[in-house]
Amino acid sequence: MTCFRPILAAAGAVALASSAIAGPGPVERVRAAAAAAVKEPRAQDYRGAIQTYAYVEGGVYRLVTAPEHITDIALEPGEALVAVAAGDTARWTVGDTTSGAGEARRVHIMIKPLAPGLATNLIITTDRRVYHLALASTARTAMSAVSWTYPHDSLLAIERAASATRAAVEARPAIDPVHLDFSYAIRGDKPAWRPLRAFDDGRQVFIEFPATLGQGEAPPLFVTGEGNSPELVNYRVSGRFYVVDRLFERAELRHGTKRQTVVRIVRVGPGASR
């Protein structure tokens, strides 16, 4: 039997060397991955009593609790709860409720440990995403509430809005300067914001103001007709232009209350002075 001992010893040394070359085992790798995924609370991420995490898919969010304290997990407004599952349901109390109504309706998950020194995990599934939380309990320290911001979703919304705007601009026929109609006269008072000119492209009216328009209060625009009372019209401000998404024959810009400043924009025949 003694002749096999060197061989066995050598085999053991080879196994140890192979283990060292292979690196950490499955348990160590799982622990390292789990530790890397945990998002810890930070002082700068508090909004009042609420710890706000930036949601990242696959992240694990730390939740510190204490006996005789309830910690509120607030989901995104409008997000519908599907299920909640805790690793330890015997020593943790888990419940849910809602606040608000309609689009502002919000789900809240309530967490309370029965003793300090506990640890477990919590998984929340909704109609939008999955939340993974690492729960721990202390004797006195507890987080009052936790919520999330959703930067990825916000970026997608901005990108969708930008794409929609680009598509609308591309779908709109190009404006041919030859077809612009400048047959509008500017009349009435002469304040500093008096328009320089007005013109239309057959669909919209553009009112051009001096560059100083943004330095004061912009006057509201009213459309007037023969014998009709002035009607406030929808328009948008683009740089120093008012853009009105309709044509009109007469309009007024009014400013002030006791003594109003009134500037009239009147559509006239071709070749009229402007």
Helix (H, G, I), strand (E, B) or coil at 6: helix
Same domain for 115 and 225? no
Give domain status of residue 10, yes or no: no
- List the pLDDT tens digit at each of the 274 positions of the chain: 444 444 444 445 544 445 445 567 877 876 776 677 788 887 766 777 889 888 888 889 999 999 999 999 999 999 999 999 999 999 999 999 999 998 889 999 999 999 999 999 999 999 999 999 999 999 999 999 999 988 777 566 656 766 665 665 555 555 555 568 888 999 999 888 888 888 888 888 999 888 777 666 778 999 986 666 778 888 888 888 899 989 999 999 988 877 889 999 999 865 444 3
Domain end marker among 134, 154, 174: 154
Asked if residue 121 lies in contact with residue 134, where contact means CB atoms within 8 angstroms, the answer is yes
Number of domains composing the chain: 2
Give domain status of residue 167, yes or no: no
Give domain status of residue 223, yes or no: yes
Domain end marker among 138, 154, 170: 154
Give domain status of residue 11, yes or no: no
Same domain for 88 and 135? yes
Same domain for 149 and 34? yes
Q: Residue 227 and residue 52: Cα distance in Å, rounded?
A: 59
Q: Residue 58 and residue 274: Cα distance in Å, rounded?
A: 64
Give domain status of residue 160, yes or no: no
Among residues 217, 207, 210, 211, which one has the least CA distance to residue 190? 210
Contact residues for 97 (Cβ-Cβ < 8 A; gap 6+)? 107, 108, 110
**Both structure tokens of 126:** 């909704």
Give domain status of residue 171, yes or no: no
Say what the pLDDT of residue 8 is: 44
**Both structure tokens of 54:** 């930036």
Which stretches of the chain are DSSP H helices? 5-22, 26-37, 151-171
Say what the pLDDT of residue 155 is: 60
For 108, the domain range is 30-154
Using a 10 angstrom Cβ sphere, with 0-12 exposed, 13-18 middle and 19 or more buried, the burial of residue 255 is middle
Which CATH number fits the domain that encloses residue 219?
A: 2.60.40.2500
